[in-house]
Structure 1
Amino acid sequence: MKTKLAILTLAVSCAFAGNAMALTKEEYKVQKDRVEADYKAGKDKCLSLSANAKDICQAEAKGMEKVAKAELEAQYKPSPSHDKKIRDTKANAAYDIAKEKCDDLAGNAKDVCVKDAKAARTTAKADAKVSKVNAEANKDKADNMATARKDANADKNEALYKAARERCDTMAGAAKDGCQNDAKVKFGMK
């Protein structure tokens, strides 16, 4: 199943990669219809599954649709904002899939899995923000770039710190205190 979804993703990506220039309105409509048809086909493949496997499959299908639509929009109206939207959409889709996969776990392992997924999403979104500012940057926007990098690093650090603290919850007493202190030091938290 994952192989088929990966092949489908690759096919959609290749279809979009072939057109470096902006799409015409007609091409956009045709590609949009294709994305919707691919989503319906992917969603139909999930019908034979049950329980969490079905939820994961549906999250993967929905994520692929959202990413394909964001890529299509970026081709139709190229801009740094649309490029950022693609990255954000990919981050959200990966998070939704990871969160569904975490449902197979229980207790602290599930909590750690969710925190790791959130940290990955936060990191990806922060990188997308920096990339957008980079694309828009010129000599007058150097201050904005530094601020965007600082904000992105702070967001990443906080998310990674929360994930590290969650890992400490499996410990008790002095070991837990040491783990939490190590996390504070590693991520520069007070």
Structure 2
Amino acid sequence: MKNQIKFKASCLVAALLFIPVAQAAVSSKSEYAAVKARMAADYKVDRAACDASSGNAKDICVEKAKAREKVGLAEAEFAHTGSTEDGNKLQIAKAESAYAVAKEICDEKSGNDKDICVKEAKAAEAKIQGDVKMGKKIDSAMQEDLKTQRDANYKVGLEKCDALSGDAKTGCVTKLKTTYGK
């Protein structure tokens, strides 16, 4: 039975992390606003459906509704902007939402089982947050490396232009400045 509960909790976390994006083609501000409004309306409906439950089942239902809204809004923002930063925010939203739901599920347990459940959920969240941080560092390092390469190529190009004279040299330098954004 213990493994069955762990399996169900794992499936729930996985499902939250991979909720399909129905609004993946958002491109304009009006479409983005419509998606946000729909997410708010869906949350209200989901939240109202939770009133039929009581106790921890209601708490779990409410957390699931909040998670769907939070992840849906983050997905809409990422689909609208397509920025890496919003992609990172989406991953963080998924991790935080999965943790919140798993934590509520853990409330049904007691003693050591509850402690283990909460720590497993927290570890899953921490792993995703760590992956996002590592991705930011890798992205930053790659951008710095590209800048260093571009600067080096620009300097090499300037040296080649120095071998020329007159209009040829001016044209060469102008082309380099345009190419390398200097």
Band the TM-score falls in, shorter-chain normalisation: 0.5 to 0.7
**CA RMSD of superposed structures (Å):** 2.4
Query: In structure 2, which of residues 113, 118, 122 is the aligned counterpart of residue 118 of structure 1?
Result: 122
Structure 1 position 131, deviation (Å):
2.9
Contact in 2 for aligned 1:80/1:136 (Cα 8 Å):
no
CA distance in structure 2 between the aligned counterparts of 1:132 and 1:28, rounded to whole angstroms: 26
Structure 1 position 74, deviation (Å):
1.2
> Which amino acid letter does the alignment assign opposite residue 50 of structure 2?
C
Query: In structure 2, which of residues 98, 103, 115 is the aligned counterpart of residue 99 of structure 1?
Result: 103
Structure 1 position 14, deviation (Å):
3.8
Of structures 1 and 2, the larger Rg is shown by: 2
* TM-score (normalised: structure 1): 0.63
CA distance in structure 2 between the aligned counterparts of 1:74 and 1:57, rounded to whole angstroms: 26
CA distance in structure 1 between the aligned counterparts of 2:41 and 2:143, rounded to whole angstroms: 45
* TM-score (normalised: structure 2): 0.65
CA distance in structure 2 between the aligned counterparts of 1:116 and 1:124, rounded to whole angstroms: 13
> Which of structures 1 and 2 has the larger relative contact order (alpha carbons within 8 angstroms, sep 6+)?
2
Question: Alignment identity in percent?
Answer: 41
CA distance in structure 1 between the aligned counterparts of 2:36 and 2:129, rounded to whole angstroms: 25
Structure 1 position 77, deviation (Å):
1.9
Structure 1 position 56, deviation (Å):
0.2
Task: Count residues with an aligned counterpart.
Answer: 132
CA distance in structure 1 between the aligned counterparts of 2:21 and 2:72, rounded to whole angstroms: 11
> Which amino acid letter does the alignment assign opposite residue 59 of structure 1?
E
CA distance in structure 1 between the aligned counterparts of 2:86 and 2:59, rounded to whole angstroms: 28
Structure 1 position 95, deviation (Å):
0.3
Equivalent residues in 2 for 1:131-142 (5 A)?
131-135=135-139, 137-138=141-142, 140-141=144-145
Query: In structure 2, which of residues 68, 78, 81 is the aligned counterpart of residue 77 of structure 1?
Result: 81
Structure 1 position 134, deviation (Å):
4.1
Deviations 1:88-121 (A, max 9, x none): 0000000000000010001111111111111110
Q: Does residue 1:16 correspond to 2:20, yes or no? A: no
Structure 1 position 128, deviation (Å):
1.9
Equivalent residues in 2 for 1:47-86 (5 A)?
47-86=51-90
Structure 1 position 132, deviation (Å):
3.6
Structure 1 position 135, deviation (Å):
4.7
Structure 1 position 137, deviation (Å):
4.9
